[in-house]
Amino acid sequence: MKKLHALLTRTTSESARPSCDASARSPPAAPSTAQPAQSVPQHVHHTPQQADRREPSAAPQQHQPSPRRHRLPERTLQQAPEEQQPQQQAFNGRPPSQRHLSPPSPPAVQPVQPAASPAQQAPPLLRSSGSASRVARTTSDGSVRGSTRGLAAPSSFYCPISMELMADPVMVATGHTYDRVCIERWLQQGNRTCPVTGMRLRHLELTPNFALRTAIQEFANQHSIMLPQREARQNVSTIYKSAEPVREPSFPEQFPSNILQGHDEIVWAVEVSGNRLFSASADKTIRVWDIETRRCIDVLEDHARPVLSLAVSGSYLFSGSYDFSIKVWNLDTLQRIKTLSGHSDAVRALVVAENKLFSGSYDGAVKVWDISTLQCLKTLSGHTGPVRTLVYSGGHIFSGSYDKTVRVWDTHDLQCLAVLQGHSGAVRALAASDTRVFSGSDDTTIKVWDSTSLECLKTLQGHEDNVRVLTVGERHVFSGSWDKTIRVWDAETLTCMRTLEGHGEAVLALAVAPQHLISGSYDTTVRFWALDTLRCVRKCEGHDDAVRVLAVAAGKVFSGSYDGTIGVW
């Protein structure tokens, strides 16, 4: 029995030992399906636009993220960009060719993985398919999502989290744009950082990027792509944090107002001529309003894309658009006289000086037009970024750009006299007196330049965020910022006299009346500040969205809003 047991034991052990041939024939072990968490790139390319937050913004081509917000534009695009224009550069996000492949389907049981990246935490319906060419998919609301196979959609149209076309693009505190559904999911999971940069968000407010949304919708319509319908949502800041209520002064009565309706999209510019008000909108039209009756008396339709800028000279109205053109309208007949072509991107700024029209574009050029002949006299080149703003002072034209510089042009020989450097962020605002020019930048500062010597007299510091708007009064210079405040500077000593607080959101527009400073904000209100006491004396409500532009004429104040309405105060 002992011999038999030993024989059986030896036979069993030998059969369990694999031979070399068996090992060679055995298939290799299946690789593990566990994938490391993919990380979102640590940089993003913006353009002015941007932002725009909601503005058709434009910003430097190569942008290193900083703790401060970059709008765009609105292509800051980034941007914005301020303003969002597909022709120039992307607000943010990566081009389709640079998207990461999605991980394979996980098995029923997975080992514990590291914390998921934003792309992995995105809603399943919005997660990237892993291919540069999109495949149409049907969402829960029955619409087709992200079908762009074979189409070269601008990279700014894609959400950096889901890598899908954005149905409702919104901007976070850093100025980056995401699809609302994705970024809300990101915040609901307890994250308080920007998914792209990793920087902590100073607040959790989400600002709709209307200009980019319009561009995406046009692209979708052109290529028969149905985007999911947007849902009315509460501002995310009220969902994820309890902000202290803003203390408002109490007024005995509301300032008289009337809201004029007609535009379907954002009002980008307002201009007054005689007893008529002209309003330019993202709905591609210019509306003409009788100031006395407050009725729309005509609608000027000829632009193919949003109208961004207006200027009046003599019997002409000039309008600049995202369609790269400038339309010339007869103020008497309200008929189009001519189309001025030559720019290769959106015409963002117009100014008239010495019988010449100067146009600044996101293509980085300033063109000069003879108003008498309506012919192009010269193209002023030099800026390396989108031109956002123009102003005239002391016989010179000053152009502010997202390339962080201000260029000075002689209005007679049309030569560049100087390049004013010193800002470390995009120049979004210019204002001028007879002897000085003020430039406001994303670097939170305001620089004061002598109009004759072109020397920098002083750098005004105090704002805690981007300087968005400037205006000059008789004794004061006023600056509005994303930090929700207005600073009042003495025009002679260049010292800060007071900081005006009251707005609950960024200050986007300023205008000076004989006795008041008027301000418009993202908080949808218009405020009146007495120039003698520098105190808020009126708070006007009526708009349903941000107040973007202001104009003062004939004892009235006109406000243009993102909700498409005109306020008369």
Residue 249 has a pLDDT of 39
Tell me how far apart the alpha carbons of residues 153 and 176 are, in angstroms, rounded to a whole number: 19
SS3 at position 239: helix
Residue 536 has a pLDDT of 93
Q: Read off the pLDDT band of 33 (50, 70, 90).
A: very low
> Which of 40-49, 171-180, 257-266 comes out lowest in average pLDDT?
40-49
Residue 512 has pLDDT above 70, yes or no: yes
Strand partners, 301: 285
> Which of 173-182, 351-360, 488-497 comes out lowest in average pLDDT?
173-182
Using the 8-state DSSP alphabet, how is residue 45 labeled? -
Proportion of the chain above pLDDT 70, given as a percent:
68
Q: Read off the pLDDT band of 217 (50, 70, 90).
A: confident
What's the whole-number mean pLDDT along residues 499-514?
94
Question: Of the segments 6-15, 50-59, 207-216, 300-309, which one has the largest average pLDDT value?
Answer: 300-309
> Which of 239-248, 361-370, 405-414, 469-478 comes out lowest in average pLDDT?
239-248
HSE-up of 152 (CA within 13 Å, CB side)? 2
Write the burial class of residue 270 (CB in 10 Å: 0-12 exposed, 13-18 middle, 19+ buried). Answer: buried
One DSSP character per residue, 160-187 reads TTT-SB-SSEEE-TTS-EEEHHHHHHHH
N- to C-terminal Cα separation, the chain: 113
Residue 324 has pLDDT above 90, yes or no: yes
Residue 150 has a pLDDT of 54
SS3 at position 459: strand
Q: Read off the pLDDT band of 533 (50, 70, 90).
A: very high
What's the whole-number mean pLDDT along residues 397-407?
95
Q: List pLDDT tens digits, range 466-475.
A: 999 999 998 9
Sheet with 316-321: strands ordered across: 307-313, 316-321, 326-330, 336-340
**Angle of CA points 455, 457, 459, to nearest 5°:** 120
496 or 86, greater pLDDT:
496
Tokens of 310: 């207006």
Using the 8-state DSSP alphabet, how is residue 364 labeled? S
Strand partners, 550: 559
Query: Among candidates 49, 144, 55, which has minimal Cα distance to 549?
Result: 55
Global pTM?
0.60
Residue 244 has a pLDDT of 37
Q: Read off the pLDDT band of 229 (50, 70, 90).
A: low
Residue 380 has pLDDT above 70, yes or no: yes
What's the whole-number mean pLDDT along residues 22-45?
39
Give Dmax over CA atoms of the chain in angstroms: 123
Using the 8-state DSSP alphabet, how is residue 87 labeled? T
CB 529 within 8 A of CB 520: no
Segments of 137-246 assigned E as strands? 137-138, 144-145, 169-171, 177-179, 207-208
Tell me how far apart the alpha carbons of residues 529 and 487 are, in angstroms, rounded to a whole number: 12
71 or 439, greater pLDDT:
439
Q: List pLDDT tens digits, range 425-448.
A: 999 999 999 899 999 999 999 999
One DSSP character per residue, 255-317 reads PP-EEE---SS-EEEEEEETTEEEEEETTSEEEEEETTTTEEEEEEE--SS-EEEEEEETTEE
Residue 401 has pLDDT above 70, yes or no: yes
Residue 207 has a pLDDT of 82
Residue 230 has a pLDDT of 61
Residue 293 has pLDDT above 60, yes or no: yes
Proportion of the chain above pLDDT 90, given as a percent:
49
Query: Among candidates 383, 322, 345, 367, which has minimal Cα distance to 88?
Result: 345
Q: List pLDDT tens digits, range 242-274.
A: 333 333 333 333 433 488 988 989 999 999 999
Tell me how far apart the alpha carbons of residues 61 and 27 are, in angstroms, rounded to a whole number: 51
Residue 385 has a pLDDT of 93
CA distances from 166 to 49, 118, 234, 304, 317 (A): 16, 15, 18, 22, 36
**What is the average pLDDT value for the chain, to the nearest integer?**
75
CB 511 within 8 A of CB 480: no
Sheet with 387-393: strands ordered across: 387-393, 396-401, 406-410, 416-420
What's the whole-number mean pLDDT along residues 333-343?
94
159 or 230, greater pLDDT:
159
Q: List pLDDT tens digits, range 302-315.
A: 999 999 999 999 99
Tell me how far apart the alpha carbons of residues 296 and 291 are, in angstroms, rounded to a whole number: 9
Q: Give the per-residue SS3 of 531-569.
A: CCCCCEEEEECCCCCCEEEEEEECCEEEEEECCCCEEEC
CB 333 within 8 A of CB 345: no
Residue 231 has a pLDDT of 56
Segments of 362-466 assigned E as strands? 366-370, 375-380, 387-393, 396-401, 406-410, 416-420, 427-432, 436-441, 446-450, 456-460
106 or 315, greater pLDDT:
315
Query: Among candidates 90, 54, 67, 62, which has minimal Cα distance to 385?
Result: 62
Residue 55 has a pLDDT of 56
CB 40 within 8 A of CB 118: yes
369 or 81, greater pLDDT:
369
Sign of the Cα pseudo-torsion (352, 353, 357, 362, in order):
negative
Sheet with 507-512: strands ordered across: 507-512, 516-521, 526-530, 536-540
Residue 158 has a pLDDT of 87
Residue 56 has a pLDDT of 53
50 or 394, greater pLDDT:
394
